[in-house]
Amino acid sequence: MPLPAPQVLTDSTSAGSTTAADSVVVNTDPGVVISQIEAMVQGFLRMLPNLIIALVVFVLFVGTARLVRGGIRKASSGRRGSNVAQVLGRVSQILILFVGLLIAVGIIFPSVKGAQLLQLLGVGSVAIGFAFRDIAQNFLAGLLILLRQPFRVGDQIVYKDFEGTVENIETRATMLKTYDGVRAIIPNGEIYTNAVKVNTAFEKRRSEYVVGIGYGDDLREAMRIMRETAAGVEGVLPDPAPEALTVELAEASVNVKVRWWTKPGRLDVVTISSEVLTAIKLALDEAGIDMPYPTHQVLFHDQTEATDGDRTRQREGWPKGDAPPQPRTIAGVLAQQNGQNGAQNSPDKAQA
């Protein structure tokens, strides 16, 4: 038997200045609350079969998405494009789950059409796109890096102040392990739009160093020793052969650039470069070839010589006049100072 509808009682004796809110009294009959609860329960029971069907359908889509992702991973395991396959598997899983969610919502709310859901999602995606623009940019850049492969996992790269080995390429960022054991996380959007040097892109890598020899030494003989010494170091590749090129006639030396090729890994480059330079130094020493270092001659600003032109004219260090300073040298000043110090420290001076 249906319960009576709630009645609203009004107070007809209220004054004209009384507000409408004060003149309305809501009937709080418990039967009204019970009827509302019963209506909600009945609505839930009517919707329960649709909820169960939607849940089953969504679970089936979840299982299908996992199977698709696992199948793509298994099919690409051990291959060159395994990273690309992992990303494609992840994207496929997300798309399948999205389709399953749309179907589940359509089962629960039959009156809601798929076009309406897509329209609502389209409006929301604009706001989401502005909010997560950087995330979307990094995601797309990660996909392009994985597809075009300018560098791969295991390559040694240089990006701005970071240099190391690529550990992993994710859809958001690239993980780089530096040579001092630090992990650098670089957003894909930055690393894709900026210059990156890939040290291990090719099978060979050239190293070079400038060695200075004396002007009085045999240049061609020194160059021959450098080439042969570099070629004899273990790890230096025979093709292309090491080179020695004269690059500069400097102030204190003739500079020769020595170039050699090794494998591209940093361990090979660093260790073999050390061995090459050590061997060249020892070989030049053994051959009697000098490797001079820059030398400088320092003169006092008032140092003069007996043949230093017209000494009565104004020169740097003394004024113009008829009584110019006498010729003076560093050796003479030092001898004079030593003589004064000896006179002060003599026994006669001490007794006086």
Q: In Å, how far are 89, 92, 98, 144, 300 from 95, measured between CA atoms?
A: 10, 5, 5, 19, 83
CA–CA separation, 74 vs 253, rounded Å?
Answer: 63
Beta bridge partners of 315: 318
Place of tokens 């050699």: 260
Domain assignment present for residue 339? The answer is no
CATH number at residue 164: 2.30.30.60
Residue 3: predicted pLDDT: 46
* Tens of pLDDT, residues 293-317: 877 766 555 555 555 556 565 555 5
pLDDT-based confidence at 20, cuts 50/70/90? very low
Q: Which whole number is the average pLDDT over 199-212?
A: 95
Q: Which domain holds residue 164?
A: 151-198
Cα-Cα end-to-end distance for the chain: 141
Predicted local distance difference test score (pLDDT) of residue 52? 84
Output helix, strand, coil percentages for the chain, rounded to the nearest 5. 50, 15, 35
Cβ-contact 256, 210 below 8 angstroms:
yes
Residues counted in the chain: 352
CATH code, 122: 1.10.287
Average pLDDT rounded to a whole number, residues 258-285: 96
Could you tell me if residue 111 is inside a domain?
yes
pTM: 0.59
For 60-75, b/e burial (b = at least 16 CB within 10 A) is ebeebbeebbeebeee
Whether 168 is in a domain gets the answer: yes
Kindly write down the DSSP assignment for every residue of 227-246, as one continuous string.
HHHHHTSTT--SSSPPEEEE
- Give the model's confidence band at 157: pLDDT under 50 very low, under 70 low, under 90 confident, else very high: very high
* pLDDT band for position 350 (cuts 50, 70, 90): very low
Look at residue 18 in the predicted model and tell me its pLDDT.
Answer: 47
3-class secondary structure, 318: strand
Q: Higher-confidence residue: 46 or 246?
A: 246
Digit-coded pLDDT (tens) for 83-98: 666 667 777 777 888 7
Q: Residue 226 pLDDT more than 60?
A: yes
The CATH number covering residue 212 comes to 3.30.70.100
CA–CA dist 337, 64 (Å, integer): 99
What per-residue confidence (pLDDT) applies to 13? 44
Q: How many domains in the chain?
A: 3
Dist. CA 87–CA 203, nearest whole Å? 28
Check if the beta carbon of residue 322 is closer than 8 Å to that of residue 312: yes
pLDDT for position 347: 55
Query: Does 70 share its domain with 126?
Result: yes
Amino acid 13 reads T
Pick the last residue of a domain from 238, 269, 286.
Answer: 286
